[in-house]
Amino acid sequence: VNSLPTASVSGDAVICSGFTSDITIILTGKAPWNFTYTNGSDNTTVFTSVNPYVFPAGTDGIYEVIAVSDANGCTGTDFGTTATLTVNPGPVLASDLNDAACSDVASGIVLDIASGSVAATSYEIFLNFKDAGLTGTPTTGVGLPDNAIAGDIFTNTTSVALTVVYNIVPVSGDGCEGYLVQVTLTVNPEPILNPGLDAGTCSNAASGINLSVTAGSVAATSYNILLNSIDPGLSGTATTGVGLAANAIAGDIFSNPTTGPLTVVYDIVPVSAVGCEGDMV
């Protein structure tokens, strides 16, 4: 009289999504065996002479054998043991994090997760790519907060927009990593004021100064103009304001009744079409 085959299952585990853990089934009786196991939703039938039988599992559920027979033709009825596999999800990074900033202005990018995702408690951040022509250091590392790159500042004095690409991996409170996503910061260039704009003129004659940017700079579509100083003895009104044209101070007229030259000093900030301000000169 042959004894009935049995099957016992072990392998309780908690894993992160995308990983697997081994489930072990120990069989008794005569090889080979034909058995069926389930994880609570899917059934799988196996024919094997391997004992114990071990397989990697990545789907959460309670794993148990629901039928077994052996080479003796006997059918088992003892399937009392189970293994519980818990699969914790990784966070899903939001898909709309790409942004643009002006040269010398913080990126402002705050990392976030997609609607319905498990929360991310930290982020792994790596530099994927930084255009030549940009100066500045991207924030990288592991275990970083959601505002880690919000303060990243890059300088772009070229005539075109340049980019920094980050590789971002969100990490849950359970330590489960989400999929890597690329986040792109576009750095718009700042205009560079022409350094050769100083000029001289006669008393009661227009300054004739037309503002411009240096060769190779992105164009300035307007200028912010402040009065820095005006020597005592000069009379006249300096043109000041924001969003002014290149010829804004060309018509400024001052009267100098003294015996020597006097000066008016303007502080000029060139502004590009997308609102990026250059350095004050």
What is the full DSSP assignment across 138-193? Answer: ---EEEE-TTTTTT---EE-SSS-EEEEEEEEEE-TTS-B---EEEEEEEEPPP-B
- CATH architecture designation of domain 99-188: Sandwich (2.60)
- pLDDT tens per residue across all 281 residues of the chain: 899 999 999 999 999 999 999 999 999 999 999 999 999 999 999 999 999 999 999 999 999 999 999 999 999 987 889 999 999 999 999 999 999 999 999 999 999 999 999 999 999 999 999 999 999 999 999 999 999 999 999 999 999 999 999 999 999 999 999 999 999 999 999 999 999 999 999 999 999 999 999 999 999 999 999 999 999 999 999 999 999 999 999 999 999 999 999 999 999 999 999 999 999 99
Question: Are 57 and 86 within 8 A, CB to CB?
Answer: no
pLDDT at residue 253 in the model? 99
Helix (H, G, I), strand (E, B) or coil at 51: coil
pLDDT at residue 95 in the model? 94
pLDDT at residue 23 in the model? 98
Structure-token match 């990784």, residue found: 90
CATH pick for 7-88 out of 2.40.30.10, 2.60.40.10, 1.10.645.10, 3.40.50.720: 2.60.40.10
Instruction: Write out the two tokens for 80.
Output: 């009392």
235 Cβ contact list (under 8 Å, min separation 6): 254, 255
Q: Please indicate, yes or no, whether the overall pTM of this predicted structure exceeds 0.85.
A: yes
Question: Are 109 and 97 within 8 A, CB to CB?
Answer: yes
pLDDT at residue 212 in the model? 98
Beta-sheet pairing, 83-88 with 13-16: parallel
pLDDT at residue 151 in the model? 98
The per-residue DSSP string of 196-255 comes to: T------TTSB------B-TTSPPPSEEEEEEEEE-TT-BS----EEEE-TTTTTT-B-B
- Per DSSP, 78 falls in state B
CA angle 3, 32, 20 (to 5 degrees): 110
106 alpha-carbon distance from chain centroid = 14
pLDDT at residue 78 in the model? 79
Q: What are phi and psi of 144, to 5 degrees?
A: -90, 155
- Per DSSP, 39 falls in state S
